[in-house]
Amino acid sequence: MASTKSLKIDKKYYCESCYYSTCKLTDYNKHISTEKHKKYQNASKLLVNASEKSTEIQNTFICECGKIYKHDSSFYRHKKVCNNENTNEVINKINDKDELILMLIKQNFEITKENSEFKNLMMEQQNIMIKVIENGTTNHSHNTTNSHNKSFNLQFFLNETCKDAMNIMDFVDSIKLQLSDLEKVGDIGYVDGISNIIVKNLNALEVEKRPVHCTDKKREVLYIKDENKWEKEDEERKKLRKAIKRVAGKNQRLIPKFKEAHPDCIKAASRFSDQYNKMIIESMGGSGDNDLEKEDKIIRNISKNVVINKNI
């Protein structure tokens, strides 16, 4: 287990978690009270605890909504009431130790964020209602007078120019991630890292083949191709949130490959330990905002990179 030890070697105090050393006890005490030290130490503890738990579990049932069950009876009861759109397609029986460890770590993070996320969700819903009330009257007359011309051009662009565009989930499934993508998420954080993966792969496609287009950058009006038809994305952004979760999941599944490439990364003394711990934390969503707010930021990053050129 990674731990903080005060080893006095040549009158130096040394922190194994952060590779920090000092001759002064006061500086050492100041270091162990910093947020950086606490985060790295907690990440190491989570890894060890998850490893210990995984040895006791042979079969685990996991729903894409994030819930984990030891027994199939409990899992199928949950499945009947789960609101996640993909429950019926993502239930897998997992025996892989490394992937199970990732799920256990993710569950620990979600438990600590549960209360604050509920509060933030309620506040977000209230804000949406206020905006609808405020904008409903002023936008109605403007949309009525301009919708016909804009609709005609937009529909032609989507259904004719972009008739061969990929479906959104086919696009996600086509993304081939490398360890460098995982490492970049660890370096620049969850929001920017996942945004970079999606935008990079969108930019690799011809404009006419992309599964998402933005018609209004300021209001983030998006059109998504799903099940072979173009539709305006709803206010909840369900289709894009689903795609973001799938990409994030593909990124998480690279962690065992990093461990295979650097088997000593779980040891505190390894030069890859710090990088490994940070990649796990960021691939699970990192710290700070709740999941909805992080997804909103990713959607904003995507929107500004897929704005339609009206001169096409």
136 with 95: CB under 8 angstroms?
A: no
Q: How confident is the model at residue 11 (pLDDT cuts 50, 70, 90)?
A: low
Provide the pLDDT for residue 58. Answer: 46
> In the prediction, which pLDDT does 286 show?
87
The answer, yes or no, to whether residue 162 has pLDDT greater than 60, is yes
Helical packing angle, 238-252 and 273-283, nearest 10°: 160
- pTM (two decimals): 0.54
pLDDT of residue 130: 64
Query: What average pLDDT does the structure give for the chain?
Result: 77
CB 54 within 8 A of CB 100: yes
Q: How many CB atoms lie within 10 A of CB 224?
A: 22
Q: Out of 113-127, 132-146, 212-226, 292-306, which region has the weakest mean confidence (pLDDT)?
A: 132-146
Higher pLDDT, residue 18 or 219:
219
In terms of pLDDT, which residue wins out, 286 or 210?
A: 210
For 57-72, b/e burial (b = at least 16 CB within 10 A) is eeebbbbbeebbbeee
Lowest-confidence range among 234-238, 269-273, 285-289, 303-307? 285-289
Pairing of strands 212-216, 221-226: antiparallel
Per DSSP, helices labelled H in the chain are 25-32, 35-54, 72-81, 97-156, 168-174, 179-188, 190-203, 238-252, 255-261, 273-283, 291-303
State the average pLDDT over residues 296-301.
Answer: 96
Least confident of 34-38, 108-112, 200-204: 108-112
CA geometry: angle at 153 spanning 147 and 156, to 5°? 125
In 3D space, the residue among 105, 38, 109, 32 whose CA is nearest the CA of residue 287 turns out to be 109
pLDDT-based confidence at residue 106 (cuts at 50, 70, 90): low
pLDDT digits (tens, 9 = 90+) for 170-192: 999 999 999 999 999 999 999 99
248 Cβ contact partners less than 8 Å away, ≥ 6 residues apart: 190, 194, 283, 285
**The predicted structure's pLDDT at residue 122:** 58
Q: What are phi and psi of 74, to 5 degrees?
A: -65, -40
What does the pLDDT read at residue 211?
A: 98
- Is 4 a residue whose pLDDT tops 50? no
pLDDT in tens, 66-79: 667 667 777 777 77
DSSP 263: G
pLDDT in tens, 251-294: 999 999 999 999 998 888 888 999 999 999 999 998 877 889 99
Contacts for 204 with CB less than 8 Å, ≥ 6 apart: none
Beta-strand pair 221-226/229-232 = antiparallel
- Residue 8, pLDDT score: 42
> How far, in Å, CA of 136 to CA of 206, rounded?
36
- Percent share of the chain, pLDDT over 70: 62
Residues 215 and 223: beta-carbon distance below 8 Å: yes
- pLDDT of 2 above 50: no
pLDDT of 40 higher than 50: yes
* Between 88 and 99, the higher pLDDT residue: 99
Domain spans of the chain? 1-54, 148-312
Of 86, 91, 90, give the one whose Cα is nearest residue 60.
91
Angle at 43 between CA 19 and CA 198, to 5 degrees: 105
Q: Say whether pLDDT at 127 is over 80.
A: no
Q: Tell me the mean pLDDT in the region 201-213.
A: 97
Residue 229 β-bridge partners:
226
Residue 28 pLDDT: 81
Residue 216 has pLDDT above 60, yes or no: yes
**Residue 155 pLDDT exceeds 80:** yes
How many residues make up the chain in this entry? Answer: 312
